[in-house]
Amino acid sequence: MQKPRIEAFLLYLAPNMKTRIYPTLLSLLICYGSFAQQADHKKKKKSDIPKYTIENWFNGKKSATCLTFDDWSSGHGPIVVNNLIERKCPATFFVTQNNNGLGGGYVQMQKAAQHGLEIGNHTLSHPDLTKLTSDDLKKEVSGTQASLSKETNSEVSTLAYPYGPYNDQVIEEVKKHHIAARGVIDINHFPYEFATSEQDYFKLNTVGVNEDFTSEKFGTIIRKANIEGGMLTLIFHSVYNDKVDDHSYAAITEQRLNQLLDTLDSYKKETWVTTMANAVKYHREAHCAKLKTITNNAMEWTLNLTDTLSNNKIYNQPLTINLKVPNGKKYIAISQRGEPLPFSFNDKKNLISFNVVPDGGIIRITKAREKGMKKK
Chain segment 69-108, per-residue pLDDT in tens: 999 999 999 999 999 999 999 999 999 999 999 999 999 9
Q: How confident is the model at residue 370 (pLDDT cuts 50, 70, 90)?
A: low
Q: Could you tell me the pTM of the whole model?
A: 0.86
> Is the distance from CB of 104 to CB of 77 less than 8 angstroms?
yes
Domain co-membership, 323 together with 195:
no
Residue 20 domain-assigned?
no
227, 260, 283 - which closes a domain: 283
Using DSSP's 3-state secondary structure scheme, residue 296 falls into strand
Domain co-membership, 293 together with 346:
yes
- State yes or no: pLDDT of 162 exceeds 50: yes
> Is the distance from CB of 229 to CB of 191 less than 8 angstroms?
yes
Q: Which run of H or of E encompasses 184? A: strand 180-186
Chain segment 4-54, per-residue pLDDT in tens: 554 544 444 455 544 454 444 444 444 444 444 454 444 445 557 899 999
Task: Outline where DSSP puts E strands in 61-179.
Answer: 63-71, 92-95, 118-121, 158-160
Quote the mean pLDDT of the chain. Answer: 90
Q: What's the CATH code of the domain at 254?
A: 3.20.20.370
Chain segment 269-313, per-residue pLDDT in tens: 999 999 999 999 999 999 999 999 999 998 999 999 999 999 999
pLDDT at 205: 96
Residue 182 domain-assigned?
yes
In the chain, how many domains are there? 2
CA-based angle 64:235:266, to the nearest 5?
Answer: 45
244, 262, 283 - which closes a domain: 283
pLDDT at 49: 80
Task: Give the structural domain span for 193.
Answer: 62-283
- State yes or no: pLDDT of 207 exceeds 70: yes
Rg of the chain over all Cα atoms, to the nearest angstrom: 30
